[in-house]
Amino acid sequence: MGEEDPSTDSPSMAAQAIQGSLYNVAASGVTLTLGFLRSVIDQYLATVQPMHLEFVEPSKRYADVIIPEGDTTPSL
């Protein structure tokens, strides 16, 4: 199928999920704690990653066009 999109590998996805959660919490004025960071990581590992692997990854083989994140040029 060609090269893997680095934005969909587990470490990149985890970093994006954590970064998004931290930005949202920081913007709301709530103090960030280590416990909060752990809960974000736990949530990612329990829900986001398994659902991505179960539903998104298998469907890629049927896609006619995949547009890598941050890119506007379709890859066939």
pLDDT at 54: 92
User: Above 70 in pLDDT, residue 65?
Assistant: yes
User: Above 70 in pLDDT, residue 6?
Assistant: no
User: From CA 55, how far away is CA 58, in angstroms rounded?
Assistant: 6
User: Above 80 in pLDDT, residue 76?
Assistant: no
User: Above 50 in pLDDT, residue 2?
Assistant: no
Classify each residue of 10-26 as buried b or exposed e, where b means 16 or more C-beta atoms within 10 Å of its C-beta.
eeebbeebeeebeeebe
User: Above 50 in pLDDT, residue 29?
Assistant: yes
Work out the average pLDDT over 2-26.
68
pLDDT at 56: 86
